[in-house]
Structure 1
Amino acid sequence: MKTINLKKFAIAGAALIGLGTAAITTVNKNTEPTTVQAASSKIKVSQSTAVKKFRAKYPSAKIDSINLEKENGRYVYEIEGFTSTREYDMRINASTGKVISAHSEAKKNRNKKAINLSKVISRSTATKIAQKKVPDSKAIEWSLDRDGSRTVWEVTVSKSGKKSEVKINALTKKVISVERD
Structure 2
Amino acid sequence: MMSKRSGVGLVLLSVILLAGCGTRQSEKDEATSQSRSSQSSSTKSVTDTTKVSLNAAIKAFQQQYPDASLTSIELEDQLGRPVYTLEGVGGTQEHELQLNGRTGKVISKHSERLDQDDQAEVENDRLNLKKVISPSKAVAIAVHDRNGGYASELKLDKDNGTTYWEVQVHQGKQQVEIKIDAQEGSILKTEHDD
Shorter-normalised TM range:
0.7 to 0.9
- Structure 1: distance between partners of 2:110 and 2:44: 32
Looking at structure 1, the residues matched to 161 and 45 of structure 2 have their Cα atoms a distance apart, in angstroms, of 34
Aligned position for 2:103: 96
Residue matched to 1:16 = none
- Is 2:175 the counterpart of 1:163? yes
Tell me the CA shift for residue 80 of structure 1. Answer: 0.4
- Give 1:102 shift: 0.7
Q: Determine if the alignment matches structure 1 residue 82 to structure 2 residue 94.
A: no
CA apart distance, 1:50: 1.2
1:68 lines up with 2:75 in the alignment: yes
| CA–CA separation in structure 2 for the residues paired with 1:72 and 1:78 | 15
Structure 2: runs of 5+ lacking an equivalent: 1-36
Q: What does residue 120 of structure 1 align with?
A: 132
Post-superposition CA distance 1:108-143 (Å, at most 9, x none):
312023112123222122112111210111122110
Kept in 1, the 8 Å contact 2:45–2:151? The answer is: no
Q: TM-score, normalised by structure 1?
A: 0.74
- Structure 2 CA distance for aligned equivalents of residues 79 and 114 of structure 1: 12
Q: In structure 1, what residue type is equivalent to 2:91?
A: S
In the superposition, the TM-score normalised over structure 2's length comes to 0.70
Q: Which residue of 2 aligns with 1:13?
A: none
Could you report, residue by residue, the CA deviation over 1:50-84 in whole angstroms, capped at 9, with x for unpaired residues?
A: 11111111111111110001223322100001112
1:43 aligns with 2:55: no
Among 152, 162, 167, the alignment partner of 1:150 is 162
In 2, the alpha carbon distance for the partners of 1:45 and 1:80 equals: 17
Task: Determine if contact 2:46/2:77 at 8 Å carries over to the other structure.
Answer: no
In terms of fraction of residues, the more helix-rich structure is 2
Q: Structure 1 residues 99 and 87, CA, compared in 2 at 3 Å: closer, same or farther? A: same
Identity of aligned residues (%): 38
Gaps of 5+ in 1: 1-30
Residue 176, structure 1, aligned to residue 183, structure 2 = no
Counterpart of 1:132 in structure 2 is 144
CA distance in 1, matches of 2:60, 2:182: 22
Sort the Cα spacing of 1:41 and 1:177 in 2 relative to 1 into closer, same or farther, 3 A.
closer
Distance in 2 between residues matched to 1:173 and 1:38, nearest whole Å: 18
Which residue pairs with 1:28 in the alignment? none
